[in-house]
């Protein structure tokens, strides 16, 4: 049952880490809100396409105020639990407030676009390999790079740093970032996910999603939930060309180092990945197949 939240409760939970929402998503949500009979499912669909808005909704429903026994990852479920009035009040409490320049919006477009594509591919890959929660896989894909826009805000040259990080053949992306920034987007993303009260497994994968080579080289049968989510994520990143869109590279060095162990773990072959690329391209999802 939906519970209306007070303005004070909304103000309290909105404090802290904020990822700028996509301007167009805010416009579409505003248009839906002013309809005579706003469609909660349409609102949930729009919210689920944006990292910051989705994180905020999950932060609310996973807060002690709701007292849920288990943390949820479904954006639609979160919106349903909050109810129309609370969702609209939350959305009205979020705005860009003129803090973003046109240049900053353009630079963030790369992040917004690929986050949504990777989330959709994660959900589909999860179904294909029989993972029990496509919703969790979708959330993993949507939130895994949540630290990137925050790094962009903090470091004016972060886009250049990110591209240098992805150009390293034998060094982790986060190691290069650490050298320039004394932190990295995986660490920042981890604390962001924790502030949103996301499930521990998702937070851990966010922290370690650039350590896949080491994680899958260890074949000890432990941490199955984390490894399943990480495998799904790395497959989706590769299919969507994360290394092209964010890294500005022609070669996916990170995938090349870890792919054999990842594919062995999930029981897929390189031919299966090639088929997925074509299928997702046919579905209208940006994939490496479209970038050839």
The CA distance from 61 to 63, in Å, is 5
Higher pLDDT, 4 or 193: 193
How far out from the chain centre does Cα 276 lie?
Answer: 20
What are the pLDDT digits (tens) for 18-42?
777 887 888 888 888 878 888 999 9
Q: What is the DSSP string of 214-274?
A: HHHH--SS--HHHHHHHHHHHHHHHHHTHHHHTT--SS-HHHHHHHHHHHHHHT--HHHHH
Closest alpha carbon to 238 in 227, 249, 228, 223:
249
Domain positions in the chain: 7-92, 102-291
Angle separating helix axes 51-61 and 185-195, nearest 10 degrees:
40
Per-residue pLDDT tens for 229-273?
999 999 999 999 999 999 999 999 999 999 999 999 999 999 999
Task: Output the pLDDT for position 1.
Answer: 43
Mean pLDDT of 214-224: 88
Whether 138 has a pLDDT exceeding 70, the answer reads yes
The pTM (predicted TM-score) of the whole model is: 0.81
Q: How far apart are CA 4 and CA 112, in angstroms?
A: 30
**How far, CA to CA in Å, does 266 sit from each of 85, 139, 201?**
42, 19, 18
Q: How many percent of the chain have pLDDT more than 90? A: 53
CATH entry, 102-291, from 1.10.3210.10, 3.20.20.70, 3.90.1200.10, 3.30.70.1140: 1.10.3210.10
Output phi, psi for 283, to 5 deg: -80, -5
193 with 206: CB under 8 angstroms? yes
Instruction: Give the model's confidence band at 161: pLDDT under 50 very low, under 70 low, under 90 confident, else very high.
Output: very high
Cβ atoms 66, 80 nearer than 8 A: no
- Of 7 and 85, the one with more pLDDT: 85
For residues 19 and 41, what is the distance between their CA atoms, to the nearest angstrom? Answer: 23
């Amino acid at each position: 049952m939906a519970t209306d939240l007070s303005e004070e409760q909304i103000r309290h939970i909105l404090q802290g880490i904020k990822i700028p929402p996509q301007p167009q998503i805010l416009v579409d949500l505003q248009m839906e809100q002013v309809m005579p009979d706003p469609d909660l499912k349409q609102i949930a669909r729009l919210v689920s396409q944006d990292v910051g808005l989705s994180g905020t909704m999950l932060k609310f429903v996973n807060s002690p105020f709701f007292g849920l026994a288990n943390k949820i990852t479904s954006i639609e479920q979160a919106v349903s639990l909050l109810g129309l009035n609370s969702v609209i009040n939350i959305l009205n409490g979020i705005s860009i407030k003129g803090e973003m320049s046109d240049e900053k919006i353009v630079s963030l477009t790369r992040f917004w676009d690929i986050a949504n594509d990777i989330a959709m591919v994660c959900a589909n890959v999860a179904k294909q390999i029989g993972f029990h929660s496509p919703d969790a896989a979708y959330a993993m894909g949507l939130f895994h790079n949540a630290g990137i826009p925050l790094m962009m805000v903090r470091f004016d040259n972060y886009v250049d740093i990110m591209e240098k990080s992805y150009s390293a053949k034998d060094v982790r992306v986060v190691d290069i970032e650490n050298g320039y920034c004394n932190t990295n987007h995986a660490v920042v993303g981890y604390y962001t996910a924790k502030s949103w009260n996301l499930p521990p497994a998702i937070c851990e994968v966010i922290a370690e999603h650039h350590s896949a080579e080491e994680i899958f080289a260890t074949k000890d049968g432990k941490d199955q939930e984390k490894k399943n989510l990480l495998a799904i994520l790395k497959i989706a990143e590769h299919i969507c060309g994360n290394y092209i869109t964010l890294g500005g590279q022609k070669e996916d060095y990170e995938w090349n180092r870890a792919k054999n162990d990842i594919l062995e773990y999930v029981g897929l072959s390189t031919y299966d990945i090639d088929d997925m690329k074509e299928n997702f391209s046919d579905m209208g999802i940006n994939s490496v197949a479209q970038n050839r």
